C-alpha cells in the first residue's frame, strides 16, 4: 500500500545538556578553547591568521603536548587547534592590510589577536549555543578532511608559489559529497543496528559507496576502488575522531606497508580478525547529533525520537507508522508522559478512526499505544465498543487486559477486523512470512471465509483479498481469494 515514508529511522539523541558536555570534552575543541584563553596581544600570527612557527612550541606546551609525541606532532596538533579557534570565532585575528599592516606596518607584518565573541559562549551560553559552536568546529574539520593530501598538494605548487588545482586529481565537491555519503551510510547503519553499540568495519562503509547494489561478485577493479577508498577514509576518520564525531580504530599500519610494496590489495577481508585490521568506526552520541544536524541543514528528513511529543494523536499515529518497533514505543512513551492517561486514550481512539489508506495502520498503533496506557484506558476503550471501526480493536484490547464483561463481537465485526488487521500489516511490512501464517490461520479458522470477506464494507477489502491470494500456499484457497477480490471490486 503506498504512502509517504521517512527516508531514515528516527534517532534517539542524548539531551542537549549531555551533548553539550560531550562537545566541550572533544579533544580538538578543548584544545582550541585552551589556546583561545591563552592567546593575547603578544601572540604572533601570520597574515593568514596562523600561528607563526616560532610560536608553535609555546602553544604545544600550553596544550600539554610534549615528550610523549613524536617530534613535530605536538606543534601540528597546536596548529590544528589554533585554526579551529580562529575559524569558529574563539579568537579574532586582524590581518595586515595588503598595502600595509596595522599602524603603517609592512605588508608582511604579523596580525593582531583579540578575544573572539564565541569564547564567551562557553561561560554565558546555553547547551544550544555550545552545540552550535561545536558544529562550526565540525565544519572546519570536515573541510580539512576533504582537502587534497599534502603530498599531492606539494606537487601542485608551481614556480610562482600558486597552487594549480587543475593538476590535482581532486574535485572539492565530489570529495565532500563522497564523505557526506559515507557518514550518511554510517548514520543509517548505526540506527539499523539499534543505536550503534558495535563499530562498523571500514571495508563495509567503503563498499557501501562503491559496490553497485545489483552486483553479485565484485570485480577486481571494484575491489581496488574499495581498497583505495578505505585508505582515504582512514585518513579522514583520523581527522574526525578528535572533534568527537566518531570513535575510530585505524587501519593496521602493517597493511599500509603491504599495499605500498604490492599495490592496493584487491580483496575484501573475511575473518573477524582481518576485518578489525582494516579499521573499525562508530558514530558517538555526539556524532549522531552532528550528522543529523548536517542532514537537516541539507533538507534531508532525519527524524528524532521526541519530535512528535507535542503533536496531536493523529500526527503521532501517522508519524510512528513506519518507525522500527523500539523507536515507535519510545516516541509513544514520550507523547504519553505529557497527557493524562484517560485523555490520551480518548485522543488516540479518535485519531484511529478513518477510511483513508493510512487508517488501518493508525488503528494498529493505537492499540499498541493503549497497551502502554494500561488499565487507566479501560473506560475510554469501553466507550467505543459499539463503534464500527473501533469496536473490534476495543474487544481485542480488553481481552488482552484481562477485563471481564466484554460483549462478543457480531460476525460482521470479526471479518471487518480481519480485513483491517491485514491491511495494516501490508502497509507496515509488505508481505512477510508472518503475514502468510496469519492469512492461512484466518482462512483455516473460518469456513467460507472468502464468501463472507468480499462483502465487508472496508476500503481495503479488494486489495487485502488480492494479497491473501498471493500469500496463501493452498492453490484452491488462493483461487477463492482472487475470486473474492474480483467480487469486491465489482461491487463498486
31-64 pLDDT per residue, tens: 999 999 999 888 999 888 899 999 999 999 999 8
Number of neighbouring beta carbons within 10 Å of residue 480: 22
Average pLDDT over residues 146-159: 65
Whether 271 has a pLDDT exceeding 80, the answer reads no
Tell me, what's the pLDDT at 434?
Answer: 80
Per-residue pLDDT, averaged over 287-307, amounts to: 94
Q: Is 374 helix (H, G, I), strand (E, B) or coil?
A: helix
In contact, 477 and 443? CB cutoff 8 Å: yes
Give the tens place of pLDDT for each residue, 192-207.
765 556 799 999 899 9
State the pLDDT at residue 100. Answer: 46
Q: Residue 97 to residues 88, 111, 258, 431: CA-CA distances in angstroms?
A: 22, 9, 50, 69
> Is residue 246 helix, strand or coil?
strand
In tens, the pLDDT along 367-380 reads: 999 999 999 999 99
- In terms of phi and psi (left: phi > 0; alpha: psi -120 to 50; beta: otherwise), the region of 252 is beta
Q: Nearest Cα to 240, choosing from 168, 134, 150, 165?
A: 134
pLDDT of residue 438: 86
Cell of 151: 603530498
pLDDT in tens, 449-459: 999 999 999 99
Edge-first strand listing for the sheet containing 280-283: 200-201, 280-283, 246-249
- Tell me the per-residue pLDDT of 299-324, one tens digit each, with 9 for 90 and over: 999 999 999 999 999 999 999 988 88
The mean pLDDT value for 139-161 works out to 74
Which residues is 280 bridged to in the sheet? 201, 249
Residue 187 scores a pLDDT above 70: yes
Q: 229 and 175 in contact (C-beta within 8 Å)?
A: no
Segment 428-468, tens digit of pLDDT: 876 677 888 888 888 888 888 999 999 999 999 999 999 99
In angstroms, what CA-CA distances link 29 with 51, 80, 220? 17, 10, 41
Determine if the pTM surpasses 0.75.
yes
Amino acid at each position: 500500500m503506498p504512502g509517504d515514508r521517512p527516508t531514515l529511522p528516527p534517532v534517539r539523541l542524548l539531551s542537549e545538556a549531555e551533548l553539550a558536555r560531550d562537545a566541550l570534552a572533544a579533544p580538538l575543541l578543548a584544545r582550541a578553547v585552551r589556546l583561545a584563553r591563552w592567546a593575547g596581544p603578544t601572540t604572533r600570527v601570520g597574515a593568514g591568521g596562523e600561528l607563526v612557527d616560532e610560536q608553535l612550541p609555546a602553544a604545544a606546551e600550553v596544550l600539554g603536548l610534549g615528550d610523549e609525541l613524536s617530534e613535530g606532532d605536538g606543534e601540528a596538533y597546536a596548529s590544528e587547534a589554533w585554526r579551529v579557534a580562529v575559524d569558529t570565532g574563539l579568537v579574532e585575528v586582524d590581518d595586515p592590510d595588503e598595502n600595509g599592516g596595522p599602524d603603517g606596518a609592512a605588508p608582511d607584518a604579523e596580525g593582531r589577536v583579540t578575544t573572539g565573541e564565541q569564547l564567551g559562549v562557553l561561560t554565558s551560553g546555553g547547551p544550544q549555543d555550545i552545540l552550535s559552536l561545536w558544529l562550526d568546529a565540525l565544519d572546519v574539520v570536515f573541510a580539512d578532511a576533504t582537502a587534497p593530501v599534502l603530498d599531492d598538494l606539494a606537487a601542485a605548487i608551481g614556480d610562482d608559489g600558486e597552487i594549480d588545482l587543475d593538476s590535482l586529481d581532486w574535485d572539492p565537491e565530489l570529495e565532500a559529497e563522497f564523505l557526506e555519503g559515507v557518514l550518511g551510510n554510517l548514520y543509517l547503519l548505526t540506527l539499523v543496528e539499534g543505536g550503534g553499540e558495535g563499530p562498523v568495519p571500514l571495508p563495509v562503509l567503503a563498499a557501501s559507496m562503491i559496490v553497485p547494489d545489483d552486483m553479485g561478485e565484485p570485480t577486481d577493479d571494484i575491489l581496488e576502488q574499495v581498497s583505495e577508498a578505505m585508505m582515504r577514509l582512514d585518513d579522514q576518520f583520523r581527522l574526525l575522531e578528535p572533534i568527537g564525531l566518531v570513535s575510530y580504530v585505524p587501519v593496521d599500519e602493517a597493511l599500509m606497508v603491504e599495499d605500498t610494496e604490492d599495490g592496493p590489495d584487491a580483496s575484501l577481508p573475511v575473518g573477524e580478525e582481518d576485518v578489525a585490521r582494516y579499521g573499525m568506526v562508530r558514530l558517538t552520541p555526539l556524532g549522531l547529533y552532528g550528522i543529523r544536524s548536517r542532514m537537516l541543514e541539507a533538507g534531508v528528513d532525519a527524524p528524532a525520537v521526541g519530535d512528535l511529543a507535542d503533536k496531536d494523536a493523529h500526527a503521532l499515529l501517522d508519524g510512528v507508522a513506519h518507525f522500527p518497533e523500539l523507536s515507535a514505543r519510545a516516541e509513544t512513551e514520550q507523547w504519553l508522559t505529557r497527557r493524562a492517561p484517560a485523555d490520551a486514550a480518548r485522543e488516540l481512539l479518535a485519531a484511529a478512526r478513518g477510511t483513508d489508506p493510512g487508517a488501518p495502520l493508525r488503528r494498529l498503533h493505537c492499540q499498541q499505544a493503549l497497551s502502554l496506557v494500561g488499565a487507566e484506558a479501560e473506560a475510554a476503550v469501553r466507550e467505543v465498543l459499539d463503534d464500527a471501526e473501533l469496536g473490534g480493536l476495543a474487544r481485542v484490547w480488553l481481552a488482552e487486559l484481562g477485563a471481564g464483561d466484554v460483549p462478543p463481537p457480531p460476525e460482521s465485526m470479526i471479518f471487518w477486523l480481519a480485513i483491517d488487521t491485514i491491511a495494516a500489516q501490508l502497509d507496515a511490512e509488505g508481505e512477510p512470512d508472518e503475514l502468510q501464517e496469519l492469512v492461512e490461520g484466518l482462512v483455516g479458522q473460518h469456513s467460507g471465509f472468502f464468501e463472507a470477506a468480499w462483502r465487508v464494507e472496508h476500503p481495503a477489502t479488494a486489495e487485502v483479498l488480492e494479497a491473501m491470494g498471493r500469500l496463501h500456499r493452498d492453490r484452491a484457497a488462493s483461487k477463492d481469494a482472487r475470486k473474492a477480490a474480483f467480487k469486491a471490486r465489482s461491487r463498486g
